[in-house]
Amino acid sequence: MPRRTWSKVLPPEAAEREAAGLRWLAAAQGSGGAAVVTVVALEGPRLVLERLTRAHPQPLHAREFGRALARTHAAGALTWGMAPPGTRGDGVIGAARLATPTHPEAPDAPRHWGEFYATYRLLPHLRNAVGRDSVSPQGARAVEEVCALLVDGAMNHPQPQLLEPDTPARVHGDLWSGNVMWTETGCVLIDPAAHGGHAETDLAMLALFGLPYLQDVLAGYQEVSPLAPGWQDRVHLHQLHPLLVHAELFGGWYGDQAVAAARACT
């Protein structure tokens, strides 16, 4: 039977980036990592993917997904912010210009997670959110205070047990509930912004928009790779990036939530 596929057309660099991210995440399946939608072909701007059939969420699938996601994270990355191999330039995700030998003025690789998170994930979206009046100047100062602590390394914290404390995890990077596809055989990852980051970021984003059976996912994750003490208190910190992205794109309520999350961090 021919494989069932579907296609989407993106800007060529975006199609390349998504295909590379899916393949990089899928490489962890050999060590028990999470299932990932198969890239069938990449034809310039056209990305051809395996067609998946949706099914109702199941708690057993949620628990197994948690176990598998822990193993995906444990596959690791070479540097903080590392873009997946095969991405043009193989630079730091979110950088205005990729750090390559031909671009010596490009930003250096971040020294630690806090520097990466503040510089490449928070501050660019904060500037844009302020520019569209989604975040007030006073609210921006609350976020900037968090960013200063992050850059100084004061908010760094260990990874889950399967990773060394200061080793980047292999994260999906945009793991809201809509990017977890429930099928008859289990959960499948789609639409990543994959990079080397902190494992708690993926889990915090699952919580932000309400994944079904999230407690089962977390229980399965902790069975395989227990989270560092105090992880519940850091959920606001890890949700700050998606909240700022939404404040930039949609304004209003998301800006207020981003500022509230920043204030909860300090």
**How far apart, in whole angstroms, are the C-alpha atoms of residue 5 and residue 14?**
19
- Torsion angle, alpha carbons of 192, 193, 198, 199, to 10: 0
Q: Do 79 and 168 meet the contact criterion of CB atoms below 8 Å apart?
A: yes
Q: Where are the beta strands (DSSP E) in 186-225?
A: 186-189, 195-197
Selecting among 174, 191, 202, 216, the annotated active-site residue is: 174
Place of tokens 């990852």: 189
**How far apart, in whole angstroms, are the C-alpha atoms of residue 101 and residue 180?**
36
Catalytic annotation present for 202: no
Q: Please enumerate in sequence order all residues whose Cβ is within 8 A of that of 110, keeping only pairs 6 or more positions apart, or say none.
A: 79, 80, 81, 92, 116, 119, 120
197: which strand partners? 169
Beta-strand pair 46-50/186-189: unpaired
Tell which residue, 192, 174, 176, 198, has the closest CA to residue 77: 198
187: which strand partners? 182
Q: Do 236 and 264 meet the contact criterion of CB atoms below 8 Å apart?
A: yes
DSSP 82: B
What are the catalytic residues? 174
